[in-house]
Amino acid sequence: AQSVTQPDIHITVSEGASLELRCNYSYGATPYLFWYVQSPGQGLQLLLKYFSGDTLVQGIKGFEAEFKRSQSSFNLRKPSVHWSDAAEYFCAVGAKGNTPLVFGKGTRLSVIA
Amino acid sequence: EPEVTQTPSHQVTQMGQEVILRCVPISNHLYFYWYRQILGQKVEFLVSFYNNEISEKSEIFDDQFSVERPDGSNFTLKIRSTKLEDSAMYFCASRTAISGNTIYFGEGSWLTVV
């Protein structure tokens, strides 16, 4: 069965520090991978996606993610975190077509001064 | 930028009452979805809808749930007889037929059943 694991429930980083949020997936077919962000009281905003090609993908707000097939991972990174990045981050996996997305449990990011 | 809009943003209802959550998907999108997120838990798929019929549904989407596209713009989720455990954030989402599987989500409708 498809599954997504985000091993870190909560991460706290200092403003200006680098960030890496981990995501591991289990998926039988070739996966499509996504990162969404949810600010408090807000909906899910797409940060970036990977379908094929270059395994390092760039997204909005300075985020990037790298697909590593051998490790079944799709970790999200940002070189310098801003206080406005504090939010919940969800990794999701799907496939071509109408396959529903499967989400991880999310990682809550706190940013301190 | 076009967006998925949902109403109401928050609704409180008594157990056993019927609730209708409304969504206006992005105008050129053809696939529509409902997901839900119980507080503190992961986002879960409920149902997908295409060409005026359900294309897939999860185990959560039992007989108390129904979806409808009553006109060319709205997409609704009805919960016939709400239970306490239906309290959750309900997200509507949509996508085009040509954008791969990129799904765009609305801001959610927070349902509280008391």
Q: A-side interface with B, Cβ within 8 Å?
A: 32, 34, 36, 42-46, 49, 51, 90, 92, 94-106
Q: Where are the alpha helices (DSSP H) in chain B?
A: none
Number of A to B CB contacts under 8 A, please give it.
60
Q: For residue A60, what are the CA distances in angstroms to A17, A47, A64, A76, B110?
A: 18, 5, 8, 12, 26
Q: Measured between alpha carbons, how far is A76 from A92 in angstroms, rounded to an integer?
A: 12
Tokens, residue A13: 């980083």
pLDDT in tens, chain A (113 residues): 789 999 999 999 999 999 999 999 998 777 899 999 998 877 899 999 998 888 999 999 999 999 999 999 999 999 999 999 999 999 999 887 777 899 999 999 999 99
